[in-house]
Amino acid sequence: MVKSSVLGYPRIGVDREWKKALEAFWSGKLEEVAFQQQLRELRLKHWGKLQAAGIDLIPVGDFSYYDHVLDTAAMFGLIPKRFAYEGGVVPLSVYYGVARGTKEAAASEMTKWFNTNYHYIVPELEDGATPVLTENKPLIAYREAKEALGIEGKPVILGPLTFLKLSKGYDVSSETDAWLDRLLPLYVQVLKELAREGVRWVQIDEPILVTKLGAEDLQRLKKIYEALAEAAPTLNIMLQTYFESVEHYRELVALPVQGIGLDFVHGYAGNIASLRAHGFPEDKVLGAGVIDGRGIWKATLREKQALLAELAEVVAPEHLLVQSSCSLLHVPVTAEVETKLPTELRAALAFADEKLDELVLLTKALNSAGTTGAEIASVLEQNDRELQQLQQSAVRNRGDIQQAVAAICEQPLERSRPFAERHTAQQEQWKLPLFPTTTIGSFPQSAEVRKARQLWRKGEWSQQQYADFIREQIDLWIQLQEDIGLDVLVHGEFERTDMVEFFGEKLAGFAFTQNGWVQSYGSRCVKPPIIYGDVAFIGEMTVEETKYAQSRTQRPVKGMLTGPITIMNWSFVRDDLPREQIAYQLAYALRQEVEALEQAGIGMIQVDEPAVREGLPLKEAEQADYLAWAVNAFRMTTCTVQDTTQIHTHMCYCEFHDMIDSIEAMDADVISIETSRSHGELIHSFEQNTYHLGIGLGVYDIHSPRVPRVEEMGSMIDRALRVLDPKLFWINPDCGLKTRGREETIASLRHMVEATRIARAKYGKSW
């Protein structure tokens, strides 16, 4: 019999119970015992839901108190020395200290999980560290599920090769094997204990296998799984990959494991080609990831049926596992509550719970191949109607937008003069000092701000009351910015709930869920908009607040927009168009807003693109094409402004060293870019690559509650100025300040301005 499984389930709960518990615990409103109990109840609820849905192999151990990569590091006692960890099971105070920072120690780096919008905490493998098994987390989860619900769970573990590849702090060229030799015995111990417990299947995630690997890594892979197979011969290992097709199929399927999990959604082309060319071992289970774990659209069930039928010709039924393509962590929990969406859209949605139903249905259909029952046939017919209804809707077929975008794509996407000439004109216009200071855009959204927005949305406040309140906040923070001593100001974005949602609400082609939350990092949950139709500009989106802010000061105020690639990458997008075309539709709409700001007298406009890097394809062969059209989309948005209009952009929390050329090709007059959370590592890229445009490297981490010292920021400035042109260097935080408190924000910015004053005194005479 064919069986079903998923690779993981959302942690946050239908009503974000997980997020609320974390934040209550952090604020001291929830004691640790009560906190632990709340999270246990949530875990059991999730397992029970999978059990009730009819999923055969239920994952356990994918639930986390913050992040699964951090969990792995904590399980092996790999806690940076600065957190004063004394051994044993890692206390929650230390665990959350690593993730969020403490007053004494900076948080560990946070970066994107492959090409998703989920962020993981980067493990630090320090010299002299000796990993030990502090607790067998997968075993604890297995026991809990079995004792509480009678579930024979499938423990989930992050694989050793992926864990090593995602870690930092060691010399990859010379120390990888030494670290593997330290970690591998711990993995062996984990699996031995699972085997003794009677565990049947364990899922070991190795998503790194869809990226480019060298011969040495393949040898390490062989060494790892031979050691694990020898240590726990009674345990079935499902070696799981996702997000793309595997790079070395033949080497992978030859490993001594009992199952191989492949992504047949995002990695369909490569994986199906490998399967057709080389077959599949008769003695292994194929985990067929046929339901999209990252997208929100209902599967075209007849196509999935046909794919599974093809796989069933290669793999015996008892060796076929119908799965999600990756963990369902990346989609909202349920579409059941989304009652306010357009009918044709709601009918086409499948969130995590609906995907469980799809998996079970496809498994049932496969097990009754040739004798598909009336119930299954009815579901397939309904699926056909629902998807066709959306595809034929007017919102997806706007000829005016499609023609306009096609015409713009035929035009040069360039500023009228090169940067060097624009820079001279802008300096004459703005007369900024050496090392201009600014912020990224948002200021703290206090409880008062959130309450005001809620009153307005509920209709208890009129539009005028809300507009007056926003102006009061702008007045307050314009004055504070002047008092602090910033050179270029922002209006604070108090009218915006989210940097993508805000713009989506003002553009055609978008829809918004009531409860479509997904985890981004830690307790930070986002509710991505849905781009389900052709995107179109409706009217001015940011002009009113920006123009008002500029009227309250003599210093320049930046207009603040979210860029087309970020809006696309941070939304759930339609799957009937190439992403390039969606990006160009967004760029065309945002271009009209940029022009409106300029016409309103705003001479500095920031178009944020923090998500450019995360959309980079995992396959090197596809990266150049993506970067080319991502750059074109940015330039389409910004290229029509005057020479004296200064275009800014912002990027954060990604590895940017491999796309410096593309960043420069965007031709923004100033880019602000995160460096503090990665402890300045990006600066190394500029030691090897010259950058000719204006740049501000974030000098402090806004996601940590600590107020950084002046000396810390000064050290970051000093290092940057060893490789960057001081005449083009700006000083700013590494990201927006929406989530921070007022007092810590003011204190941190005062320290930043003081560090700038010291730098000007130190370097000013040299240039």
Q: Which residues are annotated as a binding site for 5-methyltetrahydropteroyltri-L-glutamate?
A: 16-19, 112, 117, 524-525, 570, 614
Beta carbons of 290 and 265 less than 8 angstroms apart: yes
Tokens at 200, concatenated: 């049947």
Give the angle 527-528-534 at the CA atoms, nearest 5°.
145
DSSP-assigned states of every residue in 438-472: ---SB----HHHHHHHHHHHTTSS-HHHHHHHHHH
With tokens 């959302």, the residue in question is 10
Beta partners for 115? none
Beta carbons of 609 and 108 less than 8 angstroms apart: no
Backbone angles phi, psi at 261, to 5 degrees: -100, 125
Distance CA 437, CA 486 (A): 5
SS3 content of the chain, % helix, strand, coil (to 5): 50, 15, 40
Distance CA 564, CA 567 (A): 5
703 is catalytic: yes
Beta partners for 160? none
* DSSP-assigned letter for residue 731: B
Is beta strand 518-521 parallel, antiparallel or unpaired with respect to 3-4?
Answer: unpaired
Distance CA 29, CA 341 (A): 36
Distance CA 762, CA 747 (A): 23
Distance CA 289, CA 744 (A): 46
Please state, in angstroms and as integers, the Cα–Cα distance from residue 681 to each residue in 257, 521, 684, 698, following that order: 38, 21, 6, 12
Binding site, annotated residues: 16-19, 112, 117, 440-442, 493, 524-525, 570, 608, 614, 650, 652, 674, 735
Binding site, annotated residues for Zn(2+): 650, 652, 674, 735
- Count CB-CB contacts under 10 A for residue 580: 17
Residues in the chain: 767
Please state, in angstroms and as integers, the Cα–Cα distance from residue 112 to each residue in 67, 70, 116, 652, 701, following that order: 12, 13, 6, 10, 16
Our CA dihedral for 736, 742, 747, 752, rounded to 10 degrees, sits at 20
Our CA dihedral for 461, 466, 467, 471, rounded to 10 degrees, sits at 150
Distance CA 279, CA 414 (A): 50
- The active-site residue out of 119, 330, 703, 751 is 703
Distance CA 391, CA 384 (A): 11
Chain centroid to CA 502:
18
Q: Is 576 exposed, middle or buried (0-12, 13-18, 19+ CB in 10 A)?
A: exposed
Helix (H) or strand (E) holding 651: strand 646-651
| Maximum Cα–Cα distance across the chain | 85
Under 8 Å CB-to-CB from 390, ≥6 apart: which residues? Answer: 344, 345, 347, 348, 396, 532
Q: Which sign, positive or negative, has the C-alpha torsion 498, 499, 501, 503?
A: positive
**Residue 179's closest CA among 164, 166, 159?**
164
Binding site, annotated residues for L-methionine: 440-442, 493, 608
**Orientation of helix 301-312 relative to helix 374-391, angle to 10°:** 130
Under 8 Å CB-to-CB from 18, ≥6 apart: which residues? Answer: 11, 12, 39, 42, 523
Give the angle 714-718-724 at the CA atoms, nearest 5°.
135
Under 8 Å CB-to-CB from 240, ≥6 apart: which residues? Answer: 7, 203, 204, 205, 206, 207, 261, 287
What residues act catalytically? 703
